[in-house]
Chains A and B, each alone.
Chain A
Amino acid sequence: MWRPCGTFDDTYEKDVTIMRTAAQWAVTIAGLVLLGLLPFLLGGGLITTLNLIGVSVVSIMGLHILTGLTGQISLGHGAFMGVGAYAMMMLMNLTGFSFWLAMPLAVLTSGLVGLFFGLPSLRIKGFYLAMATLAAQFIIPWTIINVRPDLTGGTSTLTVDAPNLFGFAFSSQQRIFYLVMAFAVISVILARNLQRSKVGRAFVAIRDNDLAAEIMGVEIFRYKLLAFFICSLYSGLGGCLLAVWMGAVNVDSFLLHESIWYLGMIIVGGLGSVPGAVFGVVFIRFLEIVSQSIGPPIAGFFPDAIGAAVKSGISPFIFGLVILLFLAYEPRGLAHRWEIFKHFYRRWPFSH
């Protein structure tokens, strides 16, 4: 770990503090103010994208904890977001609950469903556990589509009312921005804190050496389940916010490819790092936009018959290529680049 030059710890109290210098506070506050001004500075399209990034940041904090810290690969992240989104939609539309009541209940529901699908981690790990989460990824959308289509809407899209806070309706992307970013900032802070706490150390101990962790007194199974639960709380919240962002729910948003995009984000960002996970989200979401906009021109080079296939295939193709390149050339992800950059500017102009 590198600190700003001249920062030394005379007490452990200070050493457990993240914000050490006035400069760090200043940069953080300036960053938050700038964030708050963005809706006035940027056009609607970009704000819509930033909102999706905010939603994904909330959700990725869950995968960061489960896969990045605890080392349990989940192929069902998208489905757990779906649990949150659908639970909230049904509570709002069927029982008339407000967003502020429906959302926490939906988040809890998602947490409990995640806990249930985490149970196999008692007996299996690695590849086999990933397969168990893949089962969740198929069972949950199937349930949404088939069990009570009269309540869930089946494969059709059902609308969700805009949340309302003391008469302020989050009804436009400009307004949703504040809701989403508030949750994103809080999620990042909570996840970062959890990581440096007793719980985070236990998670990483399980990831790096579960036998040693057990011998050193970590209740492995309890902490694995806790990781599944916490992960699904974040993914459930992400699902609720996604429903707000779209003003609707549709099962298509919660399918396998979404889970894989999320895994891609933490790979690109660098496993085990909160800033890395955020970078990964931003990178992949922008990559998605770029690849969608270069799809049509590239498809133009091909005869009509395969042009359509190229157009729809270009985005997953680029995604796959980027993941491969990261795995091959920067397996530690963008977080590693960030560390090098921080190291550099903190010591500037003295290069050691």
Chain B
Amino acid sequence: MSSPAERKMMVEDLALSFGSVQALSGICFTVYDNEILALIGPNGAGKTSVLNCISGFYRPKGGRILFKGKDISRLSTTKRAQLGISRTFQNIELYTGLTALDNLMASRHIYIRYGPVAGSLFLGKARREEVKNRAEVEEIIDLLELAEVRHKVVESLPYGVRKRVDLGRALALDPQILLLDEPMAGMNVEEKEDMARFILDVQELKKIPIIIVEHDMGVVMDISQRVVVLDFGTKIAEGAPEDIKHDRKVIRAYLGKQAKPDREENEPVSA
């Protein structure tokens, strides 16, 4: 971060439980303007749960989330989307029956102003709004190199491309903050490099903070400015990537994981 950074989002003392399982407790961290913050930790640490709390899909039982100084903890999921909180999903939750283009256009929902009558007639107003929003979406299609698959139904696309469409759909919401849940999971090295480049491009272009959940420490080192480490639902470390790499607690969390083979692991940690 070069300029004095503003606090965009503050997560304060977040607690979440599923029945008797304490998924998160006492999670605190700040997201500064225009930074890429990596959220790491072993599987089951609670990373996805944190993102779900921020986007409003999970209701935390304690703590607050402030976005641009405003408490959003009580807002509905839809309201949060309207504030510009946008995300991708670990397991690609696309609209499988729509084309790539329409998946992105669907995210323009909150900006397109016409109702069902105008939509049924599809004359002047609806047509103008569609064309205007289509232009916005086309910029994202260019940025993410999706032009060739624009009119393809998402169901038919390969995994790596679907991951990119997922990112595109999050961007089409014109986000103020972007949450990426393992955008590179299951990709080969080349696809990972492409995705990293896209994420850096997005940040450069949009000047928005990005929270990225990622397992590949190499990627984390390369693209993030700060790292927050979770283990068993609590924050165990926070700092610059270089420091995190040598943090004893972090190493123990990851090594402990390797020592217990019953805990599942899909991505080796290359620290």
Residues of A within 8 A of B (CB): 1, 11-13, 15-16, 190-191, 193-194, 196-202, 204-205, 207-209, 211-220, 226, 230, 272
A-B contacts, 10 listed (Cβ < 8 Å): A12-B134, A15-B134, A16-B127, A197-B122, A205-B95, A211-B57, A212-B93, A217-B82, A217-B110, A218-B78
Contacts of B116 in A (CB 8 A): 194, 197, 199, 226, 230
Residue contact A214 to B77, C-beta cutoff 8 Å: yes
- Tell which of A16, A213, A215, A230 touches B131, judged by Cβ atoms closer than 8 Å: A16
Please choose the segment from B27-35, B40-48, B97-105 that sits at the chain A interface, where 4 or more of its residues have CB less than 8 A away.
B97-105
Say whether, besides A13-B127, A207-B97, A215 and B109 are in contact (CB < 8 Å): no
Q: Is B89 among interface residues, defined by CB-CB distance under 8 A?
A: yes
Residue contact A198 to B96, C-beta cutoff 8 Å: no
Count contacts on B: residues with CB < 8 A to the other chain: 44
Residue contact A212 to B89, C-beta cutoff 8 Å: yes
Contacts of A230 in B (CB 8 A): 116
Residue contact A198 to B98, C-beta cutoff 8 Å: no
- Tell which of A191, A201, A217, A226 touches B105, judged by Cβ atoms closer than 8 Å: A201
Distance, CA A295 to CA B15, complexed state (A): 68
Contacts of A201 in B (CB 8 A): 98, 102, 105-106, 109
Residue contact A216 to B119, C-beta cutoff 8 Å: no
Residue contact A209 to B94, C-beta cutoff 8 Å: yes
Residue contact B95 to A208, C-beta cutoff 8 Å: yes
Distance, CA A194 to CA B56, complexed state (A): 30
Contacts of A194 in B (CB 8 A): 116, 119-120
Distance, CA A128 to CA B138, complexed state (A): 40
Distance, CA A195 to CA B129, complexed state (A): 15
Residues of B within 8 A of A (CB): 55-57, 77-78, 81-82, 86-87, 89, 93-99, 102, 105-110, 112, 114-116, 118-122, 126-127, 129-131, 134-135, 138, 151, 169, 173
Residue contact B134 to A213, C-beta cutoff 8 Å: no
Say whether, besides A12-B134, A212-B93, A197 and B126 are in contact (CB < 8 Å): yes
Contacts of B97 in A (CB 8 A): 204, 207-208, 272
Contacts of B107 in A (CB 8 A): 216-217
- Tell which of A15, A205, A215 touches B87, judged by Cβ atoms closer than 8 Å: A215
Interface of A is mostly: helix
Distance, CA A207 to CA B129, complexed state (A): 24
Contacts of B57 in A (CB 8 A): 211, 214-215
Residue contact B89 to A16, C-beta cutoff 8 Å: no
Nearest CB in chain A: distance from B142 CB, A: 13
Nearest CB in chain A: distance from B7 CB, A: 24
15 other A-B residue contacts (CB within 8 Å) besides A214-B77, A217-B109, A218-B109:
A15-B134, A193-B119, A194-B119, A197-B118, A198-B114, A202-B106, A205-B109, A207-B97, A208-B95, A209-B96, A211-B57, A213-B95, A215-B87, A216-B173, A217-B78
Residue contact A208 to B122, C-beta cutoff 8 Å: no
- A-B pairs with lowest CB-CB distance, top 4: A197-B119, A217-B81, A193-B122, A208-B95
Nearest CB in chain B: distance from A67 CB, A: 13
Say whether, besides A214-B78, A215-B55, A219-B78, A198 and B109 are in contact (CB < 8 Å): yes
Distance, CA A199 to CA B102, complexed state (A): 12
Contacts of B112 in A (CB 8 A): 198
Residue contact A218 to B106, C-beta cutoff 8 Å: yes
Distance, CA A214 to CA B93, complexed state (A): 12
Distance, CA A193 to CA B130, complexed state (A): 12
- Tell which of A12, A200, A216 touches B138, judged by Cβ atoms closer than 8 Å: A12
Interface centre among B97, B135, B138, B173 (most CB of A within 10 A): B97
Residue contact B95 to A215, C-beta cutoff 8 Å: no
Interface centre among B99, B127, B129 (most CB of A within 10 A): B127
Looking across the interface, which residue of chain B has its beta carbon closest to that of A208?
A: B95
- Tell which of B95, B126, B131 touches A212, judged by Cβ atoms closer than 8 Å: B95
Contacts of A191 in B (CB 8 A): 120
Looking across the interface, which residue of chain B has its beta carbon closest to that of A187?
A: B120
Contacts of B129 in A (CB 8 A): 198
Interface centre among B86, B109, B129 (most CB of A within 10 A): B109
Contacts of A226 in B (CB 8 A): 116
Nearest CB in chain B: distance from A220 CB, A: 8
Distance, CA A16 to CA B105, complexed state (A): 12
Nearest CB in chain B: distance from A311 CB, A: 41
Distance, CA A339 to CA B80, complexed state (A): 39
Looking across the interface, which residue of chain B has its beta carbon closest to that of A219?
A: B78
Say whether, besides A212-B95, A216-B107, A217-B173, A197 and B81 are in contact (CB < 8 Å): no
Distance, CA A209 to CA B169, complexed state (A): 13
Distance, CA A230 to CA B120, complexed state (A): 11
Residue contact A1 to B151, C-beta cutoff 8 Å: yes
Say whether, besides A204-B98, A208-B98, A216 and B135 are in contact (CB < 8 Å): no
Contacts of A196 in B (CB 8 A): 122
Contacts of A204 in B (CB 8 A): 95, 97-98, 102, 106
Distance, CA A198 to CA B97, complexed state (A): 15
Looking across the interface, which residue of chain B has its beta carbon closest to that of A227?
A: B116
Looking across the interface, which residue of chain A has its beta carbon closest to that of B93?
A: A212
Interface centre among A16, A193, A197, A198 (most CB of B within 10 A): A198
Contacts of A272 in B (CB 8 A): 97
Nearest CB in chain A: distance from B270 CB, A: 31
Residue contact A209 to B95, C-beta cutoff 8 Å: yes
Distance, CA A146 to CA B129, complexed state (A): 49
Residue contact A16 to B109, C-beta cutoff 8 Å: no
Residue contact A215 to B98, C-beta cutoff 8 Å: no
Contacts of B126 in A (CB 8 A): 193, 197-198
Nearest CB in chain A: distance from B259 CB, A: 36
